[in-house]
Chain A
Amino acid sequence: MELSKMTALEIGSKIKAKELGVVEVTKAALENIEKTDKAYRAFVTVCGEKALTQAEKIQKGIDDGTLTSPLAGVPMAVKDNMCTEGVLTTCASKILTGFKPTYSSTAVRKLEDAGAVILGKLNMDEFAMGSTTETSVHGVTVNPWGENRAPGGSSGGSAVAVAADEAYYTLGSDTGGSIRQPAAFCGVTGLKPTYGTVSRYGLIAYASSLDQIGPIGKNVEDIAEVLSVISGHDPKDSTSVKQDSIKITLDNNIKGKRIGLPKDYFGEGLNSEVKASVLAAAKKLEELGAIVEEFEMPELQYAIPAYYIIACAEASSNLSRFDGVKYGYASPEFKDLTDLYYKSRSEGFGMEVKRRIMIGAFVLSSGYYDAYYKKALQVKAIIKQSFDRAFEKYDCILSPTAPTTALKIGENLSDPLKMYLGDIYTVSVNLAGLPSMVVPCGFDSQGLPIGLQLTGKAFSENEIMNVGYAFQQSTDYHTKKPVLKTGKEA
């Protein structure tokens, strides 16, 4: 089997068994990126030399027994909104031009401590605002599953790097579906953990109360292992929950598990092929012993407006620090301080980011706060309650991830409202702070992947991952690979 097609745990165990060396695996991965990424452009920064130096050190650690993680020596890559010490961190924005943090995000540091080899940084929508990875200053990332298809977003680079076998696993971030939707569109497995499970320290904030880092990988076992490394309380993040790292036990037994299908997520607007595929997956789970049942959650219809109000409000504040004064892009010519602010921000931010900053500043402005922001917080509370009620009856909620499969590049960018509506099945999970995982469950008639979304109550990662694991044990969607173009063909 080709090295690049193996899973993270397979590579890890071969390294442990001395069948493969860390440097060898890293070199192969870098060569593979060189060959493949011209066509897909998942990477915005490749840290070749650094990765090889790291690989040598990690090999020593494995040899002397200090590095014991099953992921030690396995090459991976990180979404470009997570700080990496000494390595460009741009959030795919012009405004962070040249920004090299002096610190690493906690999730990255924990992986490094466990012996991860970091290959580089991955493309995304600018500041994670978007669902297509098209708003990046670095250009579009291409979905390997179809001609001119966008990978979804905002963690498009993270999904494509796994789908195109460029990295064994990646880190993404999910504020309204940014891990799950691209994972579904690229036929890979992705998890948004419960809010507070993974430290946000070093994750450049989009919407602080919704952002969560999570893994994208080739199957449930791989991302379960990644989760065990990156989770756990971080004293540097007050919103990280005071609990140890999560150890997932996958037992392939879902007999008697109660799975709910929210009717509201299978109605108008859902592509019929996606619907059929997700319902077939539900049937499969029923065959495996789960009890599947439909139920109603009408409150979900308010999720999108509430999400965009809260996310944009927080974003307008979070992104104010990018002002051209301290780091990143500063307009070369300006008359005075105000002019420096205006010009740097006007020139440094892209359209979508500006749109969301303006929405956010508006909903927080004096006289509108109660009508918008406060109301959105109330909706958030109602949605959380309605999930709580659902989880009294069900162990897990199954739904589509997105109304469609991957869109053509450019198809949605011109119509922001259409793009926002594409988040309909994912944003409520962030508002409620719940764990949610996407696993591949089929392909449409054009051969584009479809993903099903499994959502659980807070801190029930093990529950939903076990359902996903059982599904993957009896299906092979997650093992299907796109036909990759190499550099020459691209």
Chain B
Amino acid sequence: MEFLTTLGLEVHTELSTKTKIFCGCTTEFGGDPNTHVCEVCTGMPGTLPVLNEQVVEYAIRVGLATNCEITQYNKFDRKNYFYPDLPKAYQVSQLYAPICQNGHIDIEVGGVTKSIRIKEIHMEEDAGKLIHDPWDDCTLVDYNRCGVPLLEIVSEPDFCNGEEVIAYLTKLKSILQYTDVSDCKMEQGSLRADVNLSVRPVGTDELGTRTEMKNINSFKAIARAIEGERKRQIELIEEGKKVVQETRRWDDNKGSSFAMRSKENAQDYRYFPEPDLVPIEISDEWIERVRGELPELPDAKKKRYIADYGLPEYDVDIITGSKFLVKIFEEALEACGEAKEVSNWIMGEVLRLATDTSTDVEDINFTFANLGKLILLVKNNVVNRGTAKEVFEKMFKENVEPEKYIKDNGLEMVNDDGAVREVVLAVLQANPKSVAEFKEGNDKVTRFLMGQCMKQLKGKADPATVNTVIDEELAKL
């Protein structure tokens, strides 16, 4: 039997506001346990929340960037449940009137564009963290994360496979980064995805029973979890068993999921309007101001790069997929005006060095305009391409200024024809065996001779010039 898969996503993203959603504590990641807390975010008796309006601003930004309608009369609701990481025993969230509704994000998989509908985006507060201490066999609570603002972005079940899910998450992540609302660091939990999945035999219309997998924290793990869960459900059905509606936890190390709680044990969250907060009204002016301040978003940027610079679509996808690569691209381009060259350097050396040094793209830290300068130095024959790559590595790692570095280290290209010829003659003289082989018709030795010459010239000469001189001198012999 052939099966179709239906997937929906709930993405939680921590907003990078300076302070928490309902108090003045910092949202900074890390810190000693319970140092980024106050009586409000630890839910001490008698304390009250005061909404951080920046959270609303960020939510509007994301809503507009994902083509949502903005709810102008906003309220918060309480979601009640007991757990030690939730000090008030309720989470302030939005059930009845989420701030953004009915949006969509366009994704492209295998050259086909597909629109994924966004059901809603709502604002809420994050919970603390439980840390199990195996030494003392006890569980400790760290409330630093408690009250960090979250957006929950809920999609419709519009995905058919893991590829589409990853494309959506990639696009969503870049939108969140472009709009400056989140750093989206999955390893720090600032972007988390819950996956709803069901399967049904081809030819049937009714959706199968779905399961939910919670808190998967990397794109690769999400892809594996989807594949694993799809197989598990198909196997159950093929064995004549039933899929149980439940929440499952994906264990990426074991490559399998296990049940957390079934629908029968599902909690009744007893939602009701949060009486400690007043409704927030979002005016047309507010929405229009935010719309006016939105940066150019990934789709528009991609189109422009292809149209204006004639760059290959693949390269543009990679570059526009990350706000940080865009920053490198645009600042380097500004300095040199050579779009194609900049793109090549990013796709080549920048990404290679990032991989080699295990540096996250967002942590790449050199003066990006200097890449433009370096490109111009190559273009103007001040330095050859090979040396430029060495210079760039220094720039990447130590943020050296290319022109000064080249000068200080005497890396300028040797353009003096006489100097090159001198070296070539010396090399020929020192390698009579190679010269003899050449005379016997072995062309390949020129490569060896070329290497010797470049070595002597410390790689600073234009290889084409060296080649020509070697050819000339060999011909004379």
A96 to chain B minimum Cβ distance, whole angstroms, is 7
Chain B, 73-98, CB within 8 A of any chain A CB: 78, 80, 82, 84, 87-90
Choose among B44, B89, B270 the residue that contacts A365 (Cβ–Cβ < 8 A): B270
Known: A317-B270, A323-B82. Contact between A89 and B45, CB under 8 A?
A: yes
Q: Which residues of the other chain, A, contact B90 by a CB distance below 8 angstroms?
A: 317, 320
Residues of B within 8 A of A103 (CB): 39, 44, 46-47
A213-B87 Cα distance, complex, nearest whole Å: 25
Q: Verify B82–A203 contact, CB threshold 8 A.
A: no
A99 at interface (Cβ–Cβ under 8 A)? Answer: yes
> How many chain B residues touch the partner (CB < 8 A)?
28
A82 at the interface (CB under 8 A from B): yes
**Stretch binding the partner chain, chosen from A40-48, A204-212, A274-282, A447-455:** A204-212
**CB-based contact A364/B270 at 8 Å:** yes
Contact residues in A for B45 (Cβ distance below 8 Å):
83, 89, 91, 96, 99, 101, 204-205, 321-322
Verify if B277 is at the interface (C-beta below 8 Å from A): yes
A416 within 8 A of B: no
CA distance A238 to B88 in the complex (A): 18
Q: Does A326 contact B (CB under 8 A)?
A: yes
A387 to B268, CA, bound (A): 36
Chain B residues whose C-beta falls within 8 Å of the C-beta of A204 in the assembled complex: 45-46
> Known: A316-B270, A337-B84. Is A101-B44 also a contact (CB below 8 A)?
yes
Is A313's beta carbon under 8 Å from chain B? yes
A83 to B270, CA, bound (A): 28
Given A102-B39, A238-B276, A323-B89, A317–B78 Cβ distance below 8 Å?
yes
Determine if A348 is an interface residue (Cβ-Cβ < 8 Å).
no
Chain A, interface size: which category?
35 or more
A316 CA to B80 CA, complexed, in Å: 9
Check if A341 sits within 8 Å of B47, measured CB to CB: no
With A103-B39, A208-B276, A364-B270 in contact, is A200–B89 under 8 Å at CB?
A: no
B237 at the interface (CB under 8 A from A): no
Q: Once the chains bind, are B275 and A208 in contact (CB under 8 Å)?
A: yes
The distance in angstroms between the C-alpha atoms of A320 and B83, with both chains bound, is: 10
- Complex formed: what's the CA distance from A201 to B51 in Å? 14
**A356-372 interface bits toward B, Cβ cutoff 8 Å, 1 = contact, 0 = none:** 00000100111001000
Contact A321 B268 (CB under 8 A): no
Distance, CA A286 to CA B277, complexed state (A): 42
Docked-complex contact B82 and A238, CB < 8 angstroms:
no
Proximity bits, B258-279, A CB within 8 Å = 1, else 0: 0000000000101110011110
Looking at the complex, which one of A203, A321, A364 makes contact with B272 (CB distance below 8 Å)?
A364
**Complex: A373 Cα to B273 Cα, angstroms:** 10
| B46–A83 CB distance below 8 A | yes
Q: Please encode chain A, from 122 to 158, with 1 for each CB lying within 8 Å of some chain B CB and 0 for all others.
A: 0000000000000000000000000000000000000
Residue of A nearest to B270 (CB): A364
**Cβ-defined partner of A317 (8 Å) among B46, B87, B272:** B272
B49 contacts partner chain A, Cβ-Cβ < 8 Å: yes
A102 to B38, CA, bound (A): 10
By a CB distance below 8 angstroms, the chain A residues around B275 are: 207-209, 239, 314
Task: Check if B318 is an interface residue, CB within 8 A of chain A.
Answer: no
> Which residue in chain B gives the minimum CB-CB distance to A320?
B89
B43 CB-CB contact with A under 8 Å: yes
Q: Mark A316-359, 1 if CB is under 8 A from B, else 0.
A: 11001111011100000000010001000000000000000000
A322 CB to nearest B CB, Å: 8
Cross-chain contact A320 with B88 (CB below 8 angstroms): yes
Interface pair A238/B48, CB less than 8 Å apart: yes
Would you call A201 and B270 a contact (CB within 8 A)? no
B42 sits at the interface (CB 8 A)? yes
Docked-complex contact B270 and A361, CB < 8 angstroms: yes
Q: Contacts of B89 on A, CB cut-off 8 Å? A: 317, 320-321, 323
Interface residue A113 (Cβ < 8 Å from any Cβ of B): no
List the A side residues contacting B207 at CB < 8 Å.
none
How far is A122 from B213 in the complex, measured between Cα atoms in Å? 51
Expressed in whole angstroms, the Cα–Cα distance for A129 and B44 within the complex equals 20
**A82: B residues at CB distance < 8 A:** 46
Cα-based distance from A236 to B47 in the complex (angstroms): 8
Query: What residues of B have a CB within 8 angstroms of the CB of A373 in the complex?
Result: 272
A105 within 8 A of B: yes
Q: Is B109 an interface residue (CB 8 A)?
A: no
Q: A325 to chain B: which residues have CB within 8 Å? A: 84, 141
Contact with B along A93-108 (1 / 0, CB 8 A): 0001001011101000
Contact B39 A238 (CB under 8 A): no
Q: Which residues of chain A have C-beta atoms less than 8 A from B39's C-beta?
A: 101-103
Expressed in whole angstroms, the Cα–Cα distance for A204 and B44 within the complex equals 9
Q: How far is the CA of A82 from the CA of B45 in the complex (A)?
A: 9
How far apart sit A118 and B48, CA to CA, in the bound complex (Å)? 24
B43: which A residues are within 8 A, CB to CB?
Answer: 321
- Closest-by-CB residue of B relative to A364 is B270
Interface residue B50 (Cβ < 8 Å from any Cβ of A): yes
Contacts of A202 in B (CB 8 A): 46-47
Interface centre among B49, B51, B84 (most CB of A within 10 A): B84
Contact A105 B46 (CB under 8 A): yes
A91, A208, A365: which has the most chain B beta carbons within 10 Å?
Answer: A208
Residues from chain A with Cβ under 8 Å of B277 in the complex: 238-239
Question: Are A201 and B46 closer than 8 Å at their CB atoms?
Answer: yes
Residue of B nearest to A366 (CB): B268
Least Cβ–Cβ distance between A414 and chain B, in angstroms: 30
A317 to B50, CA, bound (A): 18
When C-beta atoms are compared, the residue in chain B nearest to A202 turns out to be B46
* B48, A320: Cβ atoms closer than 8 Å: no
Question: Within the assembled complex, what's the spacing in Å between the Cα atoms of A82 and B47?
Answer: 11
B80 touching A317, Cβ below 8 Å: yes
Residue with the greatest number of chain A CB neighbours at <10 A, chosen from B46, B50, B271 = B46
Within 8 A of A (CB), among B201-239: none
Tell me the B10-60 residues at the A interface (CB within 8 Å).
Answer: 39, 42-51
Q: Report how far A81 CA is from B107 CA in the complex, Å.
A: 55
B41 to chain A, nearest CB (A): 13
Q: What is the bound-complex CA distance between A235 and B22, given in angstroms?
A: 12
Interface set, chain A 185-222, CB cutoff 8 A to B: 200-205, 207-209
With A317-B270, A317-B272, A320-B90 as contacts: A200 and B84 at CB distance below 8 Å: no
In the assembled complex, A237 has its CB within 8 A of some CB on chain B: yes
With A83-B45, A238-B48, A238-B51 given, is the CB distance from A320 to B82 under 8 Å?
A: yes
Query: Cα distance A259–B45 when bound, in Å?
Result: 40
- B271 contacts which chain A residues (CB < 8 A)? 364, 369
When C-beta atoms are compared, the residue in chain B nearest to A365 turns out to be B268
- By beta carbon, the residue of chain B nearest A325 is B84
Question: Bound complex: CA of A203 vs CA of B44, how far in Å?
Answer: 11
Bound Cα distance A314, B87 (Å): 17
CA distance A203 to B47 in the complex (A): 8
Our pick among B46, B84, B141 for the contact of A203 (Cβ within 8 Å) is: B46
- Residues A326 and B276 in contact, CB atoms below 8 Å apart: no
Which of these, B44, B48, B51, B268, contacts A236 with CB under 8 Å?
B48
Chain A nearest Cβ from B369, distance in angstroms = 44
Contact B276 A239 (CB under 8 A): yes
Complex: how many Å from CA A237 to CA B271?
A: 22
Once bound together, how far apart are the Cα atoms of A321 and B82, in whole Å? 8
Complex CA gap A237/B276 in Å reads: 8
Chain B residues with CB under 8 Å of A316's CB are: 80, 270
Residues of the A chain whose Cβ atoms lie less than 8 Å from the Cβ of B48: 200-201, 236-239
Most A CB contacts (10 A, CB to CB) among B44, B50, B268 go to: B44
Known: A81-B46, A201-B48, A204-B45. 17 other contacts (CB 8 A): A89-B46, A101-B45, A102-B39, A201-B46, A203-B46, A205-B276, A208-B275, A238-B51, A238-B277, A239-B276, A321-B43, A321-B89, A325-B84, A325-B141, A364-B272, A366-B270, A369-B272
**What are the 3 tightest A-B residue pairs by CB atom distance, in nearest-first order?**
A320-B89, A364-B270, A208-B275
Q: List 6 A-B contacts (CB under 8 A).
A: A101-B46, A202-B47, A205-B45, A209-B275, A238-B278, A316-B270
Binding site for B on A (CB under 8 A): 81-83, 89, 91, 96, 99, 101-103, 105, 200-205, 207-209, 235-239, 313-314, 316-317, 320-323, 325-327, 337, 341, 361, 364-366, 369, 373
